[in-house]
Amino acid sequence: MSIIPERILIADDHEIVCDGIELLLQSQWPQLVVSKALDGMAAVEVAKETRPQLVILDLAMPKMAGADVAREIRIHCPMAYILVFTAFSNETQIIDALEAKVHGIVLKDGGNQQLLVAIKQLLKGENYYAEKLQPIIDSRSNPSEQEHQRRVSLTPRERQILKLVTEGYSSKEIARLLDLSPRTVDNHRRHLMIKLNAKNALELSAYAHKTGLFDSGSEN
């Protein structure tokens, strides 16, 4: 049975890509309401406002990485399906997207037909991953211990703040030490919790200790 979508969000930093996908979607579903966002933070805000059934998301987004956008949208719109539509196929980026629990990944060189197939598959409640990515998908079904403890990529500022969190500093104290506003520090802490799937400072510290992130000789 074909499911007719009502609301879809397209998040890509290239406006021409957003417009092209919109035309493709509306050729299939003329009554579809399409929202668009050109950066990661905007994508999260638009998703919160419009409550899309499905989000088509690029991984290489300004202001917030695509995988982090997916994590945020899953928090605010837990019923939305998230389909990554990306030109990148390197293992690190794909694994990051998988760990963000996206429902599908399509490569931009796969063409319009593959994108439509993926969208219809997700709307039926099924996952869809491009065939080229199958070796990566298969490797994740039986990850090694080293892969299981793979460190998430953090920015220098995130590492700096995480280190201070593990040392027991509060947001106000970190703000004073780094000459930042408390709000900026809180935003960094929030992004760290999203990236590391942590609920609080204790779990952030546990991650740092488990991975040996700040052990002697491991900081680089």
Identify whether residues 36 and 131 lie together within a single domain: yes
- Structure confidence at residue 46 (pLDDT): 96
Q: What is the pLDDT of residues 176-196, one digit of tens each?
A: 999 999 989 988 888 888 878
Choosing from 140, 169, 194, the residue where a domain stops is 140
Identify whether residues 186 and 110 lie together within a single domain: no
Burial of 179 (0-12, 13-18, 19+ CB in 10 A): exposed
pLDDT band at 116 (very low <50, low <70, confident <90, very high): very high
- Structure confidence at residue 23 (pLDDT): 95
Residue 146 has pLDDT above 60, yes or no: no
Burial of 216 (0-12, 13-18, 19+ CB in 10 A): exposed
Structural domain of 126: 7-140
Supply 31's token pair. 């009554």
Give per-residue burial for 135-153: e unless 16+ CB within 10 Å, then b.
Answer: ebbeeeeeeeeeeeeeebe
Identify whether residues 15 and 88 lie together within a single domain: yes
pLDDT band at 93 (very low <50, low <70, confident <90, very high): confident
Choosing from 118, 140, 162, the residue where a domain stops is 140
Supply 181's token pair. 């506003």
CB 128 within 8 A of CB 104: yes
Q: How many residues does the chain have?
A: 220
